[in-house]
A and B are shown apart, each in its own frame.
Chain A
């Protein structure tokens, strides 16, 4: 049982159990607030009946051309105790719905190549690996940087599923626009 509601500033004071997860980054306050100020409908929190934050999704809509107009998943995280109940799928569905309304052609996201649990889940939700971005994730401890998968799923607006076709399957971070 999950309560879905828009993320609010005060949720940052309560999201520790989600954010202390090693694969979840805690960003500077300004980062979250930018999203709240610009794309509030893309930032949603899932709360348990007891009032704990179970997880949240944060995203935006962007693109230079109408073909490139797309929803983007910036962060999706579910607290360890609320995993495997399809919560991430629900949150993704919400983001896709919002993107549909905004006439986005596709939804995309970046994920660590090593995060197999996440990659598999996105594949199940209909995302495909559009391309690999080399050394996208920098490691703080001097370990090797990690590649990212740029995953995409076309929306109903992309009738011919053009948005998932690319010639270049592997790119460098600087080639991202």
Chain B
């Protein structure tokens, strides 16, 4: 048997090196390993440490070669194995840990620790069958319960992940079940985790009767740690068994104890309606049914049960829970869904119930989200009545302003009361907006309403002055509502003046509430729509969006940061996001292993699913592709040779499995039906985003194959036809097909707070895809010219068209950043209600054409890519020139001085046309800078002023 531990001498020699590595002293560590290796040239553990040191010094290739050498020697000592595993983890090649331990296990059969490591190595790579095999081997040699259950879990995972469902139900699951049962019969079950895995298997097999026996039996006694323990587990099984009578009774009891738990409410209602359905099932005719609904004792009892809960809750004086009231509304909704308007009277009209709910809970900010699902119970007419009565109710509860000095205690009471009143009012406004009242207003009425909100905000500030800044502040909602009104006016009129005013409102709001993320997210959207990214970077940073949030919230900045040309910042956010995906992959894998170590089997499948979801995240593919592409056109051949940027391998994207992880619900939506962000909208936007990604991916791949061709030629001097460029024609054909569908995209605008407008829109307007297609076709012909001289006659047709398309689009930038649109800056209210909204928006910003920067950026991008590709083709020209010179030398003495082929001059003239476009673009950028600087002089700093200052004429 091979030795698994180092001898004391080796151990002593290596110890200082470990310390050096830990302290980051890699160079010295490397040096020391060499010294040790001089004395003991076969000490693998020393070589492993050298590998790690080399890798951390940045000598990656050397390190990897050495690691391969070590792997060939099949180390069996613990130090080497652990060290090499560490190295593999650092280089993200955990797949190599498997063969490493396979060898070790082969050489040291029966070593428990190595088998465990091998098992975990398979866990990392989702090799479920191998997991099963190794776990069983472990159990055979070391009969401990966890090993057996690792193996069983391995089988369950095979069942869950096989495409052949038959195999799962007929082979894997019965096998897993049999293995557990054998263990049960032997009386060897020890832990709760084991019972849970047993129940999980039975559940997957649909054997709920058996599960019931388990829960009720001796094994059920082990179920203690989860919420509700054994009774909850029992209830779950009974639900699966559709034992509604039992479920209903149990949840009744639970609701009596805890009427505010929605789980119980849902189970209660679900079971009740199942029971009602069974009763109803025997009735066929409509009339009978109506009669039944009127007389059903079960339904009566159900209604009475809820009424009792309400009575009990009403009796509480100091503090009411919302549970029973929501339960009543939910019951009403389900009854309406099933029985139409029958039995409406049992609880009273829906409108009344909603009003009662508002009366009790509208001082709480969640009240409106609670009521949203039940507003649909009201008819259009009732909705109007509801709003009118709500306003009456609300105004009757509003006390007069607090005046003069009063006792401190009293003051704090009044402040609390005021804060509640504000919340109540906000609720009323939100309801009105949700029900479409704002839609009916004219622009000037919206403006006046927004002013009113801002005044309420200001007046309300003093009532919330004692709140810590980190606490949510009810008056903030006024700014949010005012901002939404400004967005409304903008989307109705298209006048950017109102977006600037919206930005003002939000800036002002944030000034008073610096942690309000809703306002920050809205402001980011506003600035980006206006074509200004700079302020967004700080806003985004101030929310401390990190880790997981990059996947769900990254979309808020990652689109505009490139489309508005903030490449430096883009590079940072893309890199951060990419780091997240790498870390997530690593960390979630290690935690998957922790699940096995801790026997948390029921979480394993959840972890596996989660890992896949993040792995397939659209955002992950997006940041990777955009980043690589951006590096090419911003740095290629400027900061570094383009060939140095071509190292990353681009993995193919499977568009069918991409997942949309964007959190588009982070800002609460109280818009009217027309402007609400719908699921359909999100889905559609996702399809567009995927198309955009596909476009970028095509760009990247086509560019790579043109650029790499060059690399191969200069570095390897051969393989013109076996190199990657041979895939270029295929890629171009695919790209062409893709383009034709892209141009047919039906693009719609989303509400301001909905998904981002797709970049496809502008790319079609600029003919970006078509232009690139022409350029790639040209590149392909140009490269193949030598082998196919027939191409020469038509060679420049594609490029000429491409240049023309680019020129045409660059010409649209001629107008400059400022437009001369008319803005309606007339005062829209009387003097007495002046707020910051009446400030005139300075000339330096009001006339900025919001699409200008984005258009200019797209021009520069197109231009840069073309230049990068065309200049790369220079090598083809150089080759031809060299050929000619060689010919010349051979034919020395003869008079024939063969001229350069005509296409060379064609190439040169194309270059010069690109030069002209470049000059034009630089001209536009300079002009923009100059225009902005000139107008900025008048600006003198735009400030958010207090009302008092505004009144004094500037």
Q: A30-B588, A33-B594 are in contact. List 5 more A-B contacts (CB 8 A).
A: A1-B260, A9-B609, A37-B600, A49-B326, A50-B370
Query: Which one of A17, A30, A98 has the greatest number of beta carbons of chain B within 10 Å?
Result: A30
Checking A81, A98, A116 against B472 with a beta-carbon cut-off of 8 angstroms, the contacting residue is A81
**Which of B84-92, B546-554, B643-651, B891-899 makes up part of the contact surface?**
B546-554
Contact status A49-B549, CB under 8 Å? no
> Could you give 28 example pairs across A and B, Cβ below 8 Å?
A1-B261, A1-B322, A5-B263, A12-B548, A14-B552, A16-B553, A16-B663, A19-B549, A20-B666, A21-B470, A21-B515, A22-B470, A26-B547, A28-B547, A29-B587, A30-B591, A33-B587, A34-B591, A36-B600, A37-B607, A41-B225, A48-B366, A50-B370, A52-B665, A80-B365, A85-B364, A86-B319, A94-B227
B265 within 8 A of A: yes
A8-B606, A16-B549 as given contacts; A48 in contact with B370, CB under 8 Å: yes
**C-beta contact mask, B546-587 vs A, less than 8 Å → 1, else 0?**
111101110000000000000000000000000000011011
A138 within 8 A of B: no
A82 within 8 A of B: yes
Checking A5, A13, A33 against B607 with a beta-carbon cut-off of 8 angstroms, the contacting residue is A33
Checking B226, B321, B471, B607 against A41 with a beta-carbon cut-off of 8 angstroms, the contacting residue is B226
A1-B262, A13-B663, A38-B598 as given contacts; A26 in contact with B549, CB under 8 Å: yes
How distant is the Cα of A37 from the Cα of B595 in the complex, in angstroms?
A: 5
| Majority DSSP secondary structure for residues of B touching A | helix
How distant is the Cα of A161 from the Cα of B224 in the complex, in angstroms?
A: 25
Which residues of B (353-383) have their CB < 8 Å from a CB of A?
A: 364-366, 369-370, 372-373
How distant is the Cα of A55 from the Cα of B232 in the complex, in angstroms?
A: 22
Contact status B583-A117, CB under 8 Å? no
A4-B227, A6-B227, A49-B262 as given contacts; A116 in contact with B468, CB under 8 Å: yes
Which residues of B (329-368) have their CB < 8 Å from a CB of A?
A: 330, 364-366
A124 within 8 A of B: no
Contact status A1-B552, CB under 8 Å? no
How distant is the Cα of A138 from the Cα of B944 in the complex, in angstroms?
A: 33
Contact status A36-B591, CB under 8 Å? yes
Contact status A3-B261, CB under 8 Å? yes
* Chain B residues whose C-beta falls within 8 Å of the C-beta of A13 in the assembled complex: 548, 551-552, 613, 661, 663
A143 within 8 A of B: no
Which residues of A (64-99) have their CB < 8 Å from a CB of B?
A: 80-86, 94, 98
* Chain A residues whose C-beta falls within 8 Å of the C-beta of B553 in the assembled complex: 16
Contact status A117-B471, CB under 8 Å? yes
A13-B552, A22-B515, A30-B588 as given contacts; A48 in contact with B227, CB under 8 Å: no
List the 8 closest pairs (A to B, CB-CB), nearest first.
A30-B587, A80-B472, A9-B610, A33-B591, A37-B594, A81-B365, A3-B262, A20-B517
* Chain B residues whose C-beta falls within 8 Å of the C-beta of A34 in the assembled complex: 591, 594
Contact status A50-B600, CB under 8 Å? no
Q: Which partner residue on chain A sits nearest B325 by CB separation?
A: A1
* Chain B residues whose C-beta falls within 8 Å of the C-beta of A48 in the assembled complex: 262, 366, 369-370
Contact status B472-A40, CB under 8 Å? no
* Chain B residues whose C-beta falls within 8 Å of the C-beta of A9 in the assembled complex: 606-607, 609-610
A159 within 8 A of B: no
Q: Which partner residue on chain A sits nearest B548 by CB separation?
A: A12
* Chain B residues whose C-beta falls within 8 Å of the C-beta of A156 in the assembled complex: none
* Chain B residues whose C-beta falls within 8 Å of the C-beta of A44 in the assembled complex: 227
A33-B587, A44-B227, A50-B373 as given contacts; A1 in contact with B663, CB under 8 Å: no
CB distance from B474 to the nearest CB of A (A): 10
How distant is the Cα of A70 from the Cα of B665 in the complex, in angstroms?
A: 38
How distant is the Cα of A3 from the Cα of B7 in the complex, in angstroms?
A: 59
How distant is the Cα of A39 from the Cα of B370 in the complex, in angstroms?
A: 32
* Chain A residues whose C-beta falls within 8 Å of the C-beta of B591 in the assembled complex: 30, 33-34, 36-37
How distant is the Cα of A5 from the Cα of B228 in the complex, in angstroms?
A: 10
Which residues of B (203-227) have their CB < 8 Å from a CB of A?
A: 224-227
* Chain B residues whose C-beta falls within 8 Å of the C-beta of A83 in the assembled complex: 472
B159 within 8 A of A: no
How distant is the Cα of A52 from the Cα of B607 in the complex, in angstroms?
A: 22
How distant is the Cα of A47 from the Cα of B262 in the complex, in angstroms?
A: 9
B945 within 8 A of A: no
How distant is the Cα of A4 from the Cα of B364 in the complex, in angstroms?
A: 20
* Chain A residues whose C-beta falls within 8 Å of the C-beta of B330 in the assembled complex: 49
How distant is the Cα of A14 from the Cα of B548 in the complex, in angstroms?
A: 10
A41-B226, A48-B370 as given contacts; A28 in contact with B666, CB under 8 Å: no
Which residues of B (221-265) have their CB < 8 Å from a CB of A?
A: 224-227, 229, 260-263, 265
* Chain A residues whose C-beta falls within 8 Å of the C-beta of B795 in the assembled complex: none
How distant is the Cα of A12 from the Cα of B552 in the complex, in angstroms?
A: 9
Which residues of B (806-853) have their CB < 8 Å from a CB of A?
A: none
Q: Which partner residue on chain B sits nearest A22 by CB separation?
A: B515
B748 within 8 A of A: no
Which residues of B (537-551) have their CB < 8 Å from a CB of A?
A: 543-544, 546-549, 551
* Chain A residues whose C-beta falls within 8 Å of the C-beta of B441 in the assembled complex: none
Contact status B543-A20, CB under 8 Å? yes
* Chain B residues whose C-beta falls within 8 Å of the C-beta of A40 in the assembled complex: 600, 602-603
A29-B588, A36-B591, A85-B364 as given contacts; A3 in contact with B260, CB under 8 Å: no
CB distance from A118 to the nearest CB of B (A): 10
CB distance from B330 to the nearest CB of A (A): 8
B327 within 8 A of A: yes
Checking A27, A37, A49 against B598 with a beta-carbon cut-off of 8 angstroms, the contacting residue is A37
Contact status A4-B263, CB under 8 Å? yes
Contact status B227-A1, CB under 8 Å? no
Query: Which one of B226, B366, B370, B606 has the greatest number of beta carbons of chain A within 10 Å?
Result: B366
Contact status B603-A30, CB under 8 Å? no
* Chain B residues whose C-beta falls within 8 Å of the C-beta of A101 in the assembled complex: 224-225, 229
B323 within 8 A of A: yes
CB distance from A94 to the nearest CB of B (A): 7
A10 within 8 A of B: yes
* Chain A residues whose C-beta falls within 8 Å of the C-beta of B546 in the assembled complex: 26
Contact status A102-B365, CB under 8 Å? no
How distant is the Cα of A129 from the Cα of B666 in the complex, in angstroms?
A: 36
* Chain A residues whose C-beta falls within 8 Å of the C-beta of B610 in the assembled complex: 8-10
How distant is the Cα of A86 from the Cα of B323 in the complex, in angstroms?
A: 13
Query: Which one of A47, A80, A86 has the greatest number of beta carbons of chain B within 10 Å?
Result: A80
A165 within 8 A of B: no
CB distance from B162 to the nearest CB of A (A): 22
B42 within 8 A of A: no
B933 within 8 A of A: no
CB distance from A69 to the nearest CB of B (A): 15
CB distance from B319 to the nearest CB of A (A): 8
Q: Which partner residue on chain B sits nearest A10 by CB separation?
A: B610
Contact status B226-A50, CB under 8 Å? no
CB distance from A72 to the nearest CB of B (A): 16
CB distance from A74 to the nearest CB of B (A): 15
* Chain A residues whose C-beta falls within 8 Å of the C-beta of B323 in the assembled complex: 1
A144 within 8 A of B: no
Contact status B370-A49, CB under 8 Å? yes
How distant is the Cα of A49 from the Cα of B264 in the complex, in angstroms?
A: 12
Q: Which partner residue on chain A sits nearest B588 by CB separation?
A: A33
Q: Which partner residue on chain B sits nearest A116 by CB separation?
A: B468
Contact status A14-B663, CB under 8 Å? yes
Contact status A98-B548, CB under 8 Å? no
A26-B546, A38-B598, A49-B326 as given contacts; A6 in contact with B369, CB under 8 Å: no
Checking A3, A5, A6, A80 against B471 with a beta-carbon cut-off of 8 angstroms, the contacting residue is A80
CB distance from B551 to the nearest CB of A (A): 7
Query: Which one of A6, A19, A20, A21 has the greatest number of beta carbons of chain B within 10 Å?
Result: A20
B590 within 8 A of A: yes
